[in-house]
């Protein structure tokens, strides 16, 4: 009887242990499932937020493009404020977001060539395809590289602040550099641009003089406004994320 009782007790203990183990396993599986679902929810939420931010920046760019605010006419070229939302998006959304915004910038710039911009209209009349190259790939590349540069600088910037303003400055610089270089490669030999080179300077010096004033004005604005806004938005997004986690 004792042996039988002990045997039944061992069986009962094993059943309790087995039941406890299965409960622990179910709890672990449910916990893993909950964490996985939470991760998916946050990923979907972040993606939605990024799409909203991108849409807002595109809307701002379209408002700038179709009002006098976006392109300030000084001489044959225009000082563009369109670089500012591009670099802001590149810093907040990354290289892909910067490329999309740069593409929007390029498309609106190309549209200006058909909407009363005398300089752009002259380029289209000479070669529409070259004008396309001057306007669109240059701005798309600028937006993408702004995001790449920001990511690279972020890793070495201990202040986590200087990077914003440096990227804003470099974004405007690249915009001028890419536009100027492509313009001179595609149209530097034409009589139209040569007629503007009254001093007979070499092509490089003429390009610097031709586009330098625009770049000199765009770079400080992009640095201060673009860097400042991107920093402020990033801080606000981090605070909001911290509040949601609590």
Instruction: Express each pLDDT in 190-235 by its tens digit.
Output: 887 777 766 665 666 666 766 777 778 889 999 999 999 999 999 9
What is the pLDDT averaged over residues 147-165?
94
- Sign of the C-alpha dihedral computed for residues 233, 236, 238 and 241 taken in this order: negative
Q: Which secondary structure element, helix H or strand E, spans residue 10, and what is its range? A: helix 2-65
- pLDDT value of position 172: 93
- pLDDT value of position 32: 60
- pLDDT value of position 72: 75
Paired with 92 in beta bridges are none
98-136 pLDDT tens trace? 999 999 999 999 998 898 788 889 999 999 999 999 999
- pLDDT value of position 3: 43
Whole-number mean pLDDT of the chain? Answer: 82
Distances (CA, A) of 62 to 108, 114, 148: 8, 16, 24
- pLDDT value of position 8: 47
29-85 pLDDT tens trace? 555 655 665 666 566 777 888 899 999 999 999 999 888 777 777 666 677 889 999
- pLDDT value of position 17: 53
Backbone angles phi and psi of 141, in degrees to 5: -65, -40
- pLDDT value of position 202: 64
- pLDDT value of position 192: 79
Instruction: Using the predicted structure, report yes or no on whether residue 2 has a pLDDT greater than 50.
Output: no
* Total-model pTM: 0.79
Q: Which secondary structure element, helix H or strand E, spans residue 180, and what is its range? A: helix 162-187
- pLDDT value of position 244: 66
Instruction: Using the predicted structure, report yes or no on whether residue 1 has a pLDDT greater than 70.
Output: no
Name which residue leads in pLDDT, 86 or 201: 86
| C-beta separation of 54 from 99 below 8 A | no
190 CB burial (10 A radius; 0-12, 13-18, 19+): middle
């Amino acid at each position: 009887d004792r042996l039988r009782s002990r045997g039944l007790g061992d069986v009962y203990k094993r059943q309790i242990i087995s039941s406890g183990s299965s409960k622990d396993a179910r709890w672990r599986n449910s916990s893993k499932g909950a964490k996985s679902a939470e991760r998916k929810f946050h990923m979907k939420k972040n993606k939605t937020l990024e799409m909203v931010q991108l849409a807002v920046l595109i809307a701002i760019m379209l408002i700038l493009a179709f009002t006098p605010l976006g392109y300030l006419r000084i001489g044959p070229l225009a000082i563009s404020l369109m670089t500012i939302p591009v670099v802001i998006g590149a810093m907040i959304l990354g290289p892909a977001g910067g490329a999309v915004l740069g593409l929007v910038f390029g498309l609106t710039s190309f549209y200006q060539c058909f909407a009363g911009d005398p300089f752009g209209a002259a380029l289209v009349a000479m070669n529409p395809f070259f004008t396309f190259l001057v306007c669109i790939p240059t701005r798309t590349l600028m937006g993408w590289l702004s995001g790449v540069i920001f990511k690279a600088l972020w890793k070495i910037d201990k202040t986590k602040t200087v990077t914003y303003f440096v990227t804003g400055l470099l974004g405007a610089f690249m915009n001028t550099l890419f536009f100027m270089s492509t313009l001179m490669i595609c149209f530097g030999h034409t009589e139209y641009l040569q007629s503007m080179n009254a001093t007979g300077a070499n092509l490089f010096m003429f390009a610097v003089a031709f586009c330098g004033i625009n770049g000199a004005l765009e770079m400080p604005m992009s640095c201060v406004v673009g860097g400042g806004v991107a920093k402020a938005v990033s801080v606000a997004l981090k605070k909001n994320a911290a509040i949601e986690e609590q």
